[in-house]
Amino acid sequence: MIKYVKRSDKDLAAYNSSFKKANTAYDKLKKEIDNKETSDVYLFYGDEKFLIERYVDSICGLLLEGDTAMLNKVVLDEETDPGKIVAEAENMPFFAEKRVVIVLNSGQFKKGESDKKIQAYFEEPHKSTCLIFVESKAVGNSKAVNFLKKCGGLAVNFEYRSSDELEAWMGQYISKRGKSISYSALTYFIAISDESMHSIQNEADKLLLFIGDRPEVMQEDIDAICTKTIKSLIFDMTQAMLTGNKKAAIYELDKMLVNKEEPIAIIGFLSSHLYKLLRVMELSQKRMNPKNIALETGISDYYIRNLIKQSKSTTIPNIQQALEMCHDLDVKSKSTSEDIRTALETFIIQF
């Protein structure tokens, strides 16, 4: 049984301890929070909304306190004019030392430069204000982002985390709640889950409620209560196809359709899975071990091991042909009125 150290620190401690990927901006942000310091201007963007929310909360927790906390926190939406953003940032705090202005989806950090008023503020930010831009879309090397950095602002791209990082974080999350989980069950749980930390935590909370007073989370519990992602269902469908079990493959397809997955999305995920399978098979032929394949492809060790097992049921030419069939299916889905579900079932039968 794997042991996870329990931590008393709140918010980001468990995740920070497992964050191994080189990320200078993230490291600087973490150091600032640890030292109870903040920059004058931040840009947070990327897919991992969970971490963005936690860091915004941490900054607010550092700078805002007491009865005036809510009075000194301003949230502006995407409709806000640049002049209004600057005006709010230049307002003095109300009976406090600091004010936090959070701007959601300003659109200032896509291609090209940001608004001139915003640029002028970046050059001379108010020291009593912490201005945080939270963007769904931003171009990391755009002129706007580079200008913010040049003026001393901190831009952090929160990407989806690797399986290793998620496993370490979730292992600690479960341990802190007085439960244990084996390494094999933990890696299985992460493998069938969505990439989003929000989604993973929600599934974990559901899982912990399901086991009640029992001390250990088992794989059977995960299968009983957790929702498999389309990625996991695609794996199961492919496995059934490779072993000649057409009925089981169509059953997995039906599960995806019942979950309201779009047929075009199923084709895309299937193509992606087959490409990963092909890549793993090619690297295995070069006698590369699973750990190095994981490093080469960016795929988790757990998923690599399962792809290697899956590859035993097929050949490289078969997967290449399947990819060509997927491509033809994708083209057909976009250019004809033929029922895509029927086309997918035909693909499974012909595989």
Alpha-carbon 348 to chain mean position? 30
pTM of the model: 0.76
Binning the chain into helix, strand and coil, the percentages to the nearest 5 are 60, 10, 30
Q: Where residue 338 falls among pLDDT bands split at 50, 70, 90?
A: low
Domain span(s) for CATH 1.10.8.60 in the chain:
163-225
- The CATH number of domain 230-350, selected from 1.10.260.40, 1.10.1740.10, 1.20.272.10, 1.10.287.1040: 1.20.272.10
Give the per-residue pLDDT at 179.
96
Q: Exposure string (b/e) for 337-349, b if CB count within 10 Å is 16 or more?
A: eeebeebbbebbe
Distances from the Cα of 327 to the Cαs of 11, 65, 316, 320, in angstroms? 44, 57, 17, 11
pLDDT in tens, 5-30: 333 334 345 445 444 444 589 889 99
From-to residues of CATH 1.20.272.10 in the chain: 230-350
Q: pLDDT category, 105, cuts 50, 70, 90?
A: very high
Q: What is the mean pLDDT of residues 276-288?
A: 93
Q: Which tens digits make up the pLDDT trace of 218-256?
A: 999 999 999 888 988 999 999 999 999 999 999 999 999
pLDDT over 50 (residue 169): yes
CATH 3.40.50.300 spans which residues of the chain?
22-157
Residue with tokens 């896509």: 110
Question: Which residues neighbour 120 within 8 Å (Cβ) at sequence distance 6 or greater?
Answer: 86
Quick check: helix, strand or coil at residue 156? strand
Topology at the third CATH level for domain 163-225? Helicase, Ruva Protein; domain 3 (1.10.8)
pLDDT, residue 18, reads 44
> Token match 């995920």: residue?
269
Q: What does the block give as tokens for 231?
A: 């990625």
- CATH number of the domain at 22-157, please? 3.40.50.300
Band (206; pLDDT cuts 50, 70, 90): very high
DSSP H/E element including 279: helix 263-285
d(CA 8, CA 11): 10
Report which of residues 113 and 44 the model is more confident about. 44
R_g (Cα) of the chain, nearest Å: 24
At residue 8, the pLDDT reads 35
| Closest to 170 in 3D by CA, of 210, 200, 215 | 200
